[in-house]
Amino acid sequence: MIDLHCHLLPGVDDGSPDLNESIAMSRQLLSLGFTDVCCTPHMPWSTVVRTEEEISAVREKLSESLVKEDLPLSLHSGAEHWVTEVMERLSKGTLLVYPAKTTFLMEFGLDGFPPNLDELLFRIQLKGMRPVLAHVERYPEVRKDVSIIGKLKERGCFILVNLPSLVGGWDRRALKTARNVVRQGLADAATTDMHSVHDAPLVRDGLEELKGLVGKKGFDTLMRINPANIAGLCDGSEEN
């Protein structure tokens, strides 16, 4: 399985605080069945804006530590961009993208979509890029009516739900909305959004819930085939 949203890198945001925690989280991710993780620290985190080089260096150091620990988890590029800074990064070409180079993770504030969303999505499309929207179950517009996702998809957005949300890891409305999004076939992938070792039980329960909602084939699509295609990690073809 491939995780498109995870705060695994140590000491760069509100995720893993240090290398030991990152190694412990990696061990958990492997035991849950993940082989690949796109490391997506908040960008920016509070007032701290880290460069792509800084983030890459932290990721490479963690990768080296995982090899030493004999933990075969592959780490990949990414960041969780606040929507308010995407326009500027788009024009400067400084988005921290997935390996595909044309896709990037984006999140909105909990108060909902920004007023200039149509224009932003249009500009993103013009640049040949596609936003991957984090945890759509949190946003009021989606909670009100999940069919709004159809409009976002028309604009090229990929849709993510968080696995913990499927079992109440955020709030009851997020649980209901996330399950609706999945049931209606609107989700492109489900992600851990793991911040610490304490999130692992909710991720595990979320994976079980997802299997129950979409079946074995649907589960493989949401956890392996689609994430591979979105992140550009392989051809995402179906297993024979």
Residues lying near Fe ion in the complex (CB under 5 A): 80, 193
CB atoms within 10 A of CB 37: 29
CB of residue 14 vs Fe ion: minimum separation in angstroms?
A: 9
CB of residue 165 vs Fe ion: minimum separation in angstroms?
A: 12
- Cβ distance to Fe ion smaller for residue 70 or 111: 111
- Cβ distance to Fe ion smaller for residue 80 or 137: 80
- Cβ distance to Fe ion smaller for residue 80 or 188: 80
CB of residue 235 vs Fe ion: minimum separation in angstroms?
A: 27
CB atoms within 10 A of CB 224: 22
CB of residue 41 vs Fe ion: minimum separation in angstroms?
A: 9
List all residues 6 or more positions away from 103 whose beta carbon is below 8 Å from its beta carbon.
97, 129, 130, 131, 132, 158, 230, 231, 232
- Token look-up 């909902």 returns 112
CB of residue 12 vs Fe ion: minimum separation in angstroms?
A: 12
- Cβ distance to Fe ion smaller for residue 17 or 218: 17
- Cβ distance to Fe ion smaller for residue 168 or 218: 168
